[in-house]
Amino acid sequence: MNITILRQPILRFAVHETGAWELLSPWFPIVAFPTALLAVADGRRMEVSGDTLYLHCTNGHAAYALGPEHAGVRQGRLAWSRG
């Protein structure tokens, strides 16, 4: 039996002195988001509205459609992105 382990893509950000986020990675089509992270969304850089996560950066914006929680994680599928 062969098992293939796929590394989960990780969104990478730089945080400026002002608190603004700059996206360093591409917007990946599928990303796993810990529910603990979603719970502390500040509504400015990261906003959760229903089953959608919005990410606001100095160099782009994106929305991820969130799936149901499983083991403390919600899978996000890229709905749209700019930048």
What tens digit of pLDDT does each residue of 14-60 get? 999 999 999 999 999 999 999 999 999 999 999 999 999 999 999 99
Residue 17, in any domain of the structure: no
**pLDDT tens figures, 43-56:** 999 999 999 999 99
Residue 64, in any domain of the structure: yes
What pTM, to 2 d.p., does this model score?
A: 0.88
3 has a pLDDT exceeding 70: no
Give me the domain span that covers residue 66. 29-82
Long-range Cβ contact pairs of 46-55 (< 8 A, separation 24 or more): 52/79, 55/11, 55/21, 55/23
How many separate domains does the chain show? 1
Residue 36, in any domain of the structure: yes
Residue 56, in any domain of the structure: yes
* DSSP 8-state secondary structure symbol assigned to residue 8: P
Residue 40: count other Cβ atoms within 10 Å of its Cβ. Answer: 8
Within 13 A of 1's CA, how many CA atoms are on the CB side? 2
* CA 7 from centroid of its chain's CA atoms: 16
Residue 41 burial (10 A CB sphere; 0-12, 13-18, 19+): middle
Residue 43, in any domain of the structure: yes
Residue 48, in any domain of the structure: yes
Residue 63, in any domain of the structure: yes
